[in-house]
Chains A and B, each alone.
Chain A
Amino acid sequence: MGFVWGPGDLLAYETQYKPTGICHCPFVHVVRKDEDIYSPILRKLFNESHHIFVGLQNMKDDVPSKNKKHQYVTHVSKNYRSVIRACMEETHSQLKTASDIIPRWFECMFIRQVSILLAVELIWNLCEVLFIEAAPAGSLLLHLLDWVRLHKADVDEKAQEVLQSECPAEHQAYWDVTVCYILQGRIDEARQILLKQASQQPAARVTFKLMDSLLMKMPIYNPGGTQTLTEFDVKWRRWHQECDRCLQDNSFASHPHLELICKILVGDEDTLLEQREHLSTWYHFLVTRLLYCHPTVKPTELHYYAQASMDMFLDGRSAPEPLDSILLAAFEFDIHQVIKDCSIALNNWWFVAHLTDLLDHCKLLQSHNLHFGSNLREFLLLEYASGLFTHHSLWQLAVDYFDHCPEFGRVYLELQIERVPLDTERKALKVLRICEQRQMAEQVRSICKIMAKKALRNNRLGSALSWSIRAKDAAFATLISERFLQDYCTHGTFSDLDLIDNLGSAMLLSDRLTFLGKYREFHKLYAEKQFAEAARLLLSLMTAKIAPRSFWMTLLTDALPLLEQKQVIFSADQTYELMHCLEELTTEHSQQLTTKIELLRLALARNLALAIVKEGTLEA
Chain B
Amino acid sequence: MFVARSIAADHKDLIHDVSYDFHGRRMATCSSDQSVKVWDKSESGEWHCTASWKTHSGSVWRVTWAHPEFGQVLASCSFDRTAAVWEEIVGESNDKQRGQSHWIKRTTLVDSRTSVTDVKFAPKHMGLMLTTCSADGVVRIYEAPDVMNLSQWSLQHEISSKLSCSCISWNPSSSRAHPPMIAVGSDDSCVTYGGKVQIYEYNENTRKYAKAETLMTVTDPVHDLAFAPNLGRSFHVLAVATKDVRIFKLMPMRKETATSSGPTKFEVQIMAQFDHHNSQVWRVSWNITSTLLASSGDDGCVRLWKANYMDNWKCTGILKGDGSPVIGSSGQPVALSAAGGSSALASQNALNGVMAGRKKAQLMPG
Q: Which of B296, B317, B347, B359 contacts A118 (CB 8 A)?
A: B347
**Which listed segment binds A: B63-71, B213-221, B256-264?**
B63-71
Which residues between 46 and 100 of chain B lie within 8 Å of chain A, taking CB atoms?
47, 68-72, 88, 90
Q: Are B25 and A421 closer than 8 Å at their CB atoms?
A: yes
Compute how far the CA of A17 lies from the CA of B23 in the bound complex, rounded to whole angstroms: 29
Are A150 and B357 also in contact (CB < 8 A) when A115-B347, A421-B25 are?
A: yes
Interface string of B1-13 (1 = CB under 8 A from A): 1111111111101
Q: Which of B6, B287, B307 contacts A371 (CB 8 A)?
A: B307
Q: Which of A32, A118, A163 contacts B3 (CB 8 A)?
A: A32
Q: Are A370 and B309 closer than 8 Å at their CB atoms?
A: yes
Smallest distance from the beta carbon of B202 to chain A beta carbons, Å?
A: 20
Q: Are A322 and B337 closer than 8 Å at their CB atoms?
A: yes
Q: Which of A9, A153, A319 contacts B357 (CB 8 A)?
A: A153
Compute how far the CA of A541 lies from the CA of B206 in the bound complex, rounded to whole angstroms: 44
Are A458 and B90 also in contact (CB < 8 A) when A28-B29, A344-B334, A345-B333 are?
A: yes
Interface string of B277-291 (1 = CB under 8 A from A): 000001101111101
Q: Are A280 and B18 closer than 8 Å at their CB atoms?
A: no
Which residues between 89 and 122 of chain A lie within 8 Å of chain B, taking CB atoms?
89, 92, 111-112, 114-116, 118-120, 122
Smallest distance from the beta carbon of B165 to chain A beta carbons, Å?
A: 18
Smallest distance from the beta carbon of A276 to chain B beta carbons, Å?
A: 8
Q: Are A283 and B365 closer than 8 Å at their CB atoms?
A: no
**Which interface residue of A3, A114, A196, A408 has the most chain B CB atoms within 10 A?**
A3
Does A512 touch B at the CB level, under 8 Å?
Answer: no
Chain B contacts of A30 at CB under 8 A?
4-7, 47, 323
Q: Are B337 and A321 closer than 8 Å at their CB atoms?
A: yes
Chain B residue with the shortest CB-CB distance to A442: B174
Does A14 touch B at the CB level, under 8 Å?
Answer: yes
Smallest distance from the beta carbon of A283 to chain B beta carbons, Å?
A: 7
Are A14 and B341 also in contact (CB < 8 A) when A29-B5, A411-B231 are?
A: no
Does A353 touch B at the CB level, under 8 Å?
Answer: no
Chain A contacts of B298 at CB under 8 A?
1
Chain A contacts of B3 at CB under 8 A?
31-32, 35
Smallest distance from the beta carbon of A13 to chain B beta carbons, Å?
A: 6
Chain B residue with the shortest CB-CB distance to A7: B24
Q: Are B363 and A192 closer than 8 Å at their CB atoms?
A: yes
Q: Which of A17, A115, A420, A446 contacts B350 (CB 8 A)?
A: A115
Smallest distance from the beta carbon of B268 to chain A beta carbons, Å?
A: 18
Does A606 touch B at the CB level, under 8 Å?
Answer: no
Are A376 and B231 also in contact (CB < 8 A) when A10-B24, A154-B349 are?
A: no
Does B343 touch A at the CB level, under 8 Å?
Answer: yes
Q: Which of B13, B282, B310, B362 contacts A23 (CB 8 A)?
A: B13
Q: Are A111 and B347 closer than 8 Å at their CB atoms?
A: yes
Chain B contacts of A11 at CB under 8 A?
294, 302, 319
Compute how far the CA of A418 lies from the CA of B172 in the bound complex, rounded to whole angstroms: 14
Chain B contacts of A152 at CB under 8 A?
353, 357
Does B328 touch A at the CB level, under 8 Å?
Answer: no
Does A301 touch B at the CB level, under 8 Å?
Answer: no
Does A314 touch B at the CB level, under 8 Å?
Answer: yes
Compute how far the CA of A243 lies from the CA of B1 in the bound complex, rounded to whole angstroms: 53
Interface string of A64-96 (1 = CB under 8 A from B): 000000000000000000000100110010000
Which residues between 505 and 553 of chain A lie within 8 Å of chain B, taking CB atoms?
none
Q: Are B336 and A450 closer than 8 Å at their CB atoms?
A: no
Q: Which of B229, B291, B333, B348 contacts A347 (CB 8 A)?
A: B333
Compute how far the CA of A408 lies from the CA of B232 in the bound complex, rounded to whole angstroms: 9
Does A223 touch B at the CB level, under 8 Å?
Answer: no
Compute how far the CA of A281 lies from the CA of B339 in the bound complex, rounded to whole angstroms: 10
Are A160 and B14 also in contact (CB < 8 A) when A28-B6, A322-B337, A379-B309 are?
A: no
Are A14 and B288 also in contact (CB < 8 A) when A25-B8, A26-B11 are?
A: no
Does B113 touch A at the CB level, under 8 Å?
Answer: no
Does B266 touch A at the CB level, under 8 Å?
Answer: no
Are A7 and B365 also in contact (CB < 8 A) when A31-B4, A118-B347, A412-B289 are?
A: no
Does B16 touch A at the CB level, under 8 Å?
Answer: yes
Does A263 touch B at the CB level, under 8 Å?
Answer: no
Chain B contacts of A31 at CB under 8 A?
2-4, 319, 323
Q: Are B340 and A13 closer than 8 Å at their CB atoms?
A: no
Smallest distance from the beta carbon of A16 to chain B beta carbons, Å?
A: 5
Are A29 and B6 also in contact (CB < 8 A) when A321-B342, A372-B291, A449-B69 are?
A: yes
Chain B contacts of A415 at CB under 8 A?
229, 231, 288-289
Q: Which of A13, A156, A163, A192 contacts B302 (CB 8 A)?
A: A13
Chain A contacts of B323 at CB under 8 A?
13, 29-31
Chain B contacts of A2 at CB under 8 A?
15-18, 282-283, 296
Does B321 touch A at the CB level, under 8 Å?
Answer: yes
**Which interface residue of B298, B342, B351 has the most chain A CB atoms within 10 A?**
B342
Q: Are A5 and B285 closer than 8 Å at their CB atoms?
A: yes
Does A55 touch B at the CB level, under 8 Å?
Answer: no
Chain A contacts of B307 at CB under 8 A?
371-372
Are A88 and B361 also in contact (CB < 8 A) when A114-B347, A419-B23 are?
A: no
Q: Are A15 and B321 closer than 8 Å at their CB atoms?
A: yes
6 cross-chain pairs, A with B, having the tightest CB-CB distances, nearest first = A153-B357, A154-B353, A156-B361, A118-B339, A115-B347, A29-B323
For this complex, 18 residue pairs linking A to B, each with C-beta atoms less than 8 Å apart, are A4-B283, A7-B22, A7-B24, A25-B11, A26-B11, A26-B13, A28-B18, A29-B5, A32-B3, A118-B338, A155-B353, A163-B365, A196-B365, A313-B342, A319-B342, A345-B335, A412-B289, A422-B23
